[in-house]
Structure 1
Amino acid sequence: MNRKNTFARLVLFIVLGLIIGGVLGECLGVLFGQLGELMNAGGYNNIVHNVFVSSFPFNIGFPDKPEPVVLDLYMIKLAFGFSFKINFASVIGMVVGIYIMKWSGER
């Protein structure tokens, strides 16, 4: 296995881990929010729900504007920007993805 293929696999497993972990985190956040309402434990504002749903936004562009920068040239409109929404479960998913990649390679 060459170096380029290994780097591509690493990026693939990291991105898949982040996506799957983020989706699972949102699903668990909704589940624990509903359980919090059923058990009178603060509703959607309980601590377990907040751990899974609270995210750490990361934007590339202007720090005071979360939306992308738009350049309107009359005939063409260009938007520049990049944003991540990382939560606790997506970080766990990334770690699990790297672990799976480590043990799924050719030997």
Structure 2
Amino acid sequence: MTHKNSFARLVLFIVIGLLIGGILGECLGLLFGQLGQLMNAGGYDNIVRNFFVSSFDLNIGTGKGETPIMLDLYMVKLALGFGIKFNIVSIIGMIISIYIMKWSGDR
């Protein structure tokens, strides 16, 4: 990889795309939930809203019914856990950000 396409730059663009896409997906879910209520189309539990808000969770050490991973060093106890939440729009945002990264930079 060249300097302008370094691994750190790729990770930065992926994270930014996921964040913007996740926020946009939640906003669209709220908008379509309100529209579903106004138009008597199932309220907040309509198909379009559920498409944008449904997420895929990846939890390591945290989550429903799980206790965090404990690291006991006698004087210090650490609880470790990690979670990622993807929705459809965040994945689309990630793809768009990778495309922008590919075409950005000096030519």
Q: Secondary structure at the match of 1:85?
A: strand
Find the counterpart in structure 2 of residue 38 from structure 1. Answer: 38
Q: Cα gap change, 1:9/1:78 in structure 2, threshold over 3 Å: closer, same or farther?
A: same
CA distance in 1, matches of 2:44, 2:62: 32
Q: Cα gap change, 1:50/1:64 in structure 2, threshold over 3 Å: closer, same or farther?
A: closer
Q: Percent sequence identity over matched residues?
A: 69
Find the counterpart in structure 2 of residue 102 from structure 1. Answer: 102
Stretches of structure 2 lacking an aligned partner (at least 5 in a row): none
TM-score norm. by structure 1 comes to: 0.85
Is residue 12 of structure 1 aligned with residue 30 of structure 2?
no
Q: Secondary structure at the match of 2:44?
A: helix
**Structure with greater helix percent:** 1
Q: Secondary structure at the match of 1:56?
A: strand
Letter in 2 for 1:81: G
Letter in 2 for 1:95: I
23-32 or 4-13, which deviates more: 4-13
CA RMSD of aligned residues (A): 2.5
CA distance in 1, matches of 2:105, 2:4: 14
CA distance in 2, matches of 1:44, 1:87: 17
Find the counterpart in structure 2 of residue 48 from structure 1. Answer: 48
CA distance in 1, matches of 2:50, 2:62: 27
CA distance in 1, matches of 2:87, 2:67: 19
Stretches of structure 1 lacking an aligned partner (at least 5 in a row): none
